[in-house]
Amino acid sequence: MIEILEVAFKRERKEYYLNNLNIPFTIGDYAIVSAERGEDMGRVFQKGRLPQPKKGREPLENVLRKATEEDQNKLLELRNKEGGIFRTCKAKIEEHGLAMKLVDVEYRFDAHKITFYFTADKRIDFRALVKDLAAIYRTRIEMHQIGVREEARRVGGYGCCGLKLCCTTVIEDFDPVTTQMAKDQNLILTPSKLSGVCGRLMCCLAYEWNLYKAEMERFPQVGKKITTEKGKGKIERADIFRNLIYISYESGGEEKITLEKYENLKKKKKGAPEQAKT
C-alpha cells in the first residue's frame, strides 16, 4: 500500500502526491513536492493509503521532504510579492488593450514560474503580454484562462447557507447543474435564489437531485388527470417527504391525499367493471 497525500496550495488548489519516502506527516504540515521542472510547497490537507495505481493511469508526482521554517518564510515572501505582480500585470493588460479580467496570481515556491489566472469571453492573444512579464520578472510565465465557477473557487467566499463555498472545500470537479434539477426538487425558479456567487446555478442543487429523482418515480406525473369522490382534477405537485399528492379540481378547490390513497384509487379504477354498451 502506498501513502497518498492531498496537498493544498494557494486558494485551496489541491493535488495528490505519492509519499514514497514514507515521511511522517500530520494534517496541516507543509510539504515540498515535485513540480514540473522544479518544486512547489503546500499544506497537507488529507492523507491515506491507496492500492498501487492502475496501469495506464497518469503517475502521481512525489513528495520530496517536509518544509522547514525557512521554506515557509520563503513562501510567505513570495506571497507578499504577488500583490505587486498583480497590479503590474493588470496595468500591462490595459496597456495592450486586452479584453480579459485578471483574477489571481500564484508564484511557485521555487520562483521558477508565475501563473496568472484570468477570465475572458473568448480566446486571447496574450503573447505580447507574456513577453513583457517575462522581461520584468525573469522567470517562466503561464497564463491560465478559467471560467466563472473556477474564479469563485480561487477568490473564495461564503454561500447563502453561511458556510464556505463548496467549490473551495468539498468539490473537486465541476459537474453540470441544470434548471431541471431545481424543478425536480420543487424549488421556486428565481435566479437570485438559485445562483451562487459565481452567477451560475448553485452546485448544491445536484447533491440531493438523485434522491428526488428516484423518489418521484413512485409518484404520478404533475399535470396528470385524476378522478376522486370529489370529481375530476389534476395533480399539481407531490411532497416526497410526507407522501402527499396535491390535487386541483375542475369545479374549484384543492385537496391533498396520501400516496397510499392514490394507489387505492388506481386499483379501484382497474377493478371497476366496464359499462355495458347501448
Which grid coordinates are listed for 93?
493588460
* Lowest model confidence (mean pLDDT) among 14-18, 85-89, 171-175, 188-192: 171-175
What is the pLDDT at residue 52? 54
- Of residues 143 and 221, which shows the higher confidence score? 143
Mean pLDDT of the region 49-61: 65
What is the pLDDT at residue 2? 79
Q: Is the per-residue pLDDT at 49 higher than 90?
A: no
Using a pLDDT cut of 70, give the percent of the chain over it.
94
Mean pLDDT over the full length of the chain: 90
Using a pLDDT cut of 90, give the percent of the chain over it.
67
Q: Is the per-residue pLDDT at 211 higher than 50?
A: yes
Please report which confidence band the pLDDT of residue 171 belongs to, taking 50, 70 and 90 as the band edges.
Answer: confident
pLDDT in tens, 139-159: 999 999 999 999 999 988 999
Closest listed residue to residue 149, CA positions, set 123, 126, 180, 171: 171
Domain boundaries, the chain: 2-67, 74-146, 151-212, 225-271
- φ/ψ of 135, rounded to 5, equals -70, -35
What is the pLDDT at residue 50? 63
Q: pTM score, two decimals? A: 0.77
Half-sphere exposure of 177 (CA within 13 A, CB side): 18
What is the pLDDT at residue 11? 86
What is the pLDDT at residue 177? 95
Q: How far apart are CA 84 and CA 105, in angstroms?
A: 10
Mean pLDDT of the region 87-110: 96
In the sheet that holds 140-145, the strands lie side by side as: 101-107, 113-119, 140-145
CATH class (in words) of the domain with range 74-146: alpha beta
What is the pLDDT at residue 278? 36
Closest listed residue to residue 205, CA positions, set 223, 184, 219: 184
Mean pLDDT of the region 59-87: 95
What is the pLDDT at residue 106? 96
Strands 140-145 and 113-119: parallel
The dihedral built from the CA positions of residue 208, 210, 211 and 215, taken in this order, carries a sign that is positive
The dihedral built from the CA positions of residue 10, 16, 20 and 22, taken in this order, carries a sign that is positive
Q: Is the per-residue pLDDT at 268 higher than 90?
A: no
Pair 103, 117: CB distance under 8 Å: yes
